[in-house]
A and B are shown apart, each in its own frame.
Chain A
Amino acid sequence: MKRLFILVGVLLAAHLGLLLAHRGGAAAETGTGPSVGVVFDVGGRGDKSFNDGAYLGGTRAARTLGARVRFIEPGEGSDREAGLRLLAAEGSDLVLGVGFIFTDDLTGLAREYPKVHFAGVDYALQTDAAGNVVPPPSNLSALKFREEEGSFLVGAIAALAGGSKKVGFVGGMDIPLIHKFEAGYRAGVMHVCPDCEVLVGYAGVTPEAFRNPGKGKEIALSQYQAGVHVIFHASGSTGLGVFEAARQTGHYAIGVDADQWAEAPGHVMTSMVKGVDPAVFDAIKRVKDGDFTGGVRSFGLAEDGVGYVYDEHNRALIPDAVRARVEQLRREIIAGRIKVPSTR
């Protein structure tokens, strides 16, 4: 009995002691630039592509623009709105949601907080009953990418440099956003090699399909087995399984969103890079400069919003003739002579 009260006393003393052990208050935010809040999707950070790109853009803005950037990674679905709202209610200058899943919450909050700027990476434009596109609120900037254009170019690379009439594609969640990658890729393959065949696999129909490396490896192994030499993945961290399969079987993979060479050095032919980092940085810069406007901002080849990696690492994997051909294609797309489809 007495021992219990002694235990309570000791614990209480330890707790109070530890409370006083650290004299500093909350770490003060430094910087004089705009205050920015970035909310990732559940389990998004650490995907080494899309979400981490937004993180890079935010930290770069903190470093070079003096922006005070807060990052929130929600623990569950209902926290997405809570995270955005927390930042909006605190009077942030810009609140940014990373991923199409934030679309509804961003739209609602932008109407509710007309003085706060909002931006949504991959914001999905909704259509009304009559089929007309509903524009986002005037304080909301929809950062959209023409992924199909970059995918077209890596499709051409896969067909020209892969050495097989069969090329592979691994998608994450089976949704229109990912179909854009597939459609552009297929068009790129077919443009340079009309009798080629594209093998397509999707990891699932839920957001889980973007973080399932086991499934990614399974699909990739079966495609390599079927004679594919190169696989382009658009599947978040599911793609880590595709790289694993490429390394194991000595084949090639094409990364997505960011330069993914480091995931399987020597086996990453190139990566279809999506400029999430510059787009996020640009949104913060526009808030700082006072010329932030709502509406859709579309980033494609012409804006350097999408592209492919060609550097000292993978130069050996892409012959000069292929490189020249792909650069020619890039110019033709920018000039509008090639129309890249964005739907299957």
Chain B
Amino acid sequence: MTTTALPASEPRPRGAVRAALEETLLPPVVALLIALVIGDLLILAFGQSPAAVYRLLLEGTWGNAYGLGQVLYKTTTLTFTGLAVAIGLRAGVFNIGAESQLAAGGCAAALVGLALPAGVPGLLAVPLCIAAAALGGGAVGAVPGVLKAKFGAHEVIVTIMLNFVVLALLNWFVASKLHVPETLHTPEIHTGAVPRLSDAAAAFHGSAANATLAVALLAAVAMGFYLFRTRRGYELRAVGLQPDAAEYGGVSAGGVWIRALMLSGAIAGVGGINYVLGYKHYYEEGFAGGAGFLGIAVALVGRNHPGGVVLAALLFATLSQGGLAIHALVPKQMVEVFQAVVILAVAVSVPEVRRVLLSARRVQA
């Protein structure tokens, strides 16, 4: 590069492509390798063969249609919660309430599904339920947004505490008004089932994967468009980078925070469709099962980019389903530790690798 004939401001295309490749590929590769080496050591500590454990993990997830279906099912929910956390972080607000927003969305969808008369066609019922889920999650998300914009209450505290409030309220509501005796769930919804993947390809039989996955991918595309191609999205990112500067530029930071947290809650809420309409056809207490909290890790590993979030969701879904498969060899807690190792490896090594790459380039320039 030092011998380049072109001015430094116009790097040769080949160099630019190479630099872009290095910048996108090297950080995740380093992070993955670090995680794998630590994973090896953990597995060896349990007296098992790392090769055998990894093979079992792959066989149980990507190795057969059922496993793949389960991975896709888990990817769907994690994509929604990951996108929810990511859009908040883009606006500079940290939404830790995706767990309860997911549950609220699922509950709202179930209520609408139960209220609709039996004859309503799915093409009408499903969008209605999705709208209800978005409203349910969005309403929960609006609370920390308004409290932050109007009273300066920190959204981290508010969203954490709201998790307890909302989940307790939902549980009380379902347990006292709706549940089927001796179970923890509402009656079954007979309208608006989302088609399963196994309806299209019989090989996926038994897996919970369903068409909500398409909604999740659409949501990721829509969010990318919103963030990077619209004025509102630009405002949102501007507030996230530097709220004071954005205000000076004529953007109301408070308005953006409210909007971002409502959108965040709505996205998380729609995730409830995956379980309620796609899998069990009822709302069950505790169905969120930590997917809301895992969404934080998904957003972090996906670096708050919609495409990255989808890939990160796929990674964590694989680890979660693979955890069941390797249960025979290593305890469940080891899988949880491994997930944490992945998060730490990404969090630490990605910025570090980028820093080294950038400084190397500066030296060369």
Contact residues of A with B, CB < 8 Å?
1, 3-4, 7-8, 11-12, 14-15, 18-27, 42, 70-79, 81-83, 85-86, 89, 100-101, 103-104, 112, 124, 126, 174-177, 204-208
Contact = CB atoms under 8 A, between A and B. Distances in A.
14 contacts: A4-B360, A15-B40, A20-B51, A26-B328, A42-B289, A70-B327, A74-B324, A75-B324, A75-B335, A78-B289, A176-B181, A205-B171, A206-B184, A206-B286
Given A3-B356, A14-B37, A76-B291, A21 B44 contact: yes
Nearest to A72: B327
A22 B73 contact: no
Interface string B179-198: 00111100000000000000
A241 B40 CA distance: 38
Contacts, number: 140
B344 interface: no
Top 8 closest pairs, chain A to chain B, by CB: A76-B289, A18-B40, A11-B33, A124-B182, A22-B49, A1-B360, A205-B175, A26-B52
B41 interface: yes
Given A27-B329, A83-B324, A8 B29 contact: yes
Nearest to B64: A89
A4 B284 contact: no
A86 B57 CA distance: 13
Interface of B: 26, 29-30, 33-34, 36-37, 40-41, 43-44, 48-52, 54-56, 60, 66, 70, 73-74, 167, 171-172, 175-176, 181-184, 206, 208, 275, 279, 284-287, 289-291, 320-321, 323-325, 327-329, 332, 335-336, 353, 356-357, 360, 364
Given A4-B356, A78-B275, A86-B325, A25 B181 contact: no
Contacts of A19: 40, 50-51, 54
Contacts of B29: 8
A21 B360 CA distance: 36
A6 to B, nearest CB: 11
B171 A206 contact: yes
A194 to B, nearest CB: 31
B357 A207 contact: no
Contacts of A104: 183
Nearest to B36: A15
A35 to B, nearest CB: 11
Given A75-B323, A77-B284, A176-B182, A11 B34 contact: yes
A127 to B, nearest CB: 8
Contact of B49 (A25, A82, A174): A25
Contact of A26 (B44, B60, B171, B329): B329
Contacts of B171: 204-206
A278 B174 CA distance: 35
B320 A18 contact: no
A79 B291 CA distance: 12
A42 B43 CA distance: 23
Contacts of A23: 49
B328 A70 contact: yes
A277 B245 CA distance: 66
B66 A89 contact: yes
A207 B44 contact: no
Nearest to A205: B175
B33 A78 contact: no
Contacts of B323: 75
Contacts of B70: 82
Contacts of B172: 205
Given A103-B182, A206-B184, A206-B285, A78 B279 contact: yes
Contacts of A25: 49, 52
Given A75-B335, A206-B184, A24 B49 contact: yes
Contacts of A83: 324
Contacts of A4: 26, 30, 353, 356-357, 360
Contacts of B206: 85, 89, 112
Given A4-B26, A112-B206, A72 B324 contact: yes
A73 B37 contact: no
A79 B34 contact: no
Contacts of A8: 26, 29-30, 33
Contacts of A174: 175
Contacts of A205: 171-172, 175-176
A82 B290 contact: no
Given A18-B44, A18-B50, 9 more contacts: A4-B360, A15-B33, A22-B44, A72-B324, A75-B336, A83-B324, A101-B184, A204-B171, A206-B184
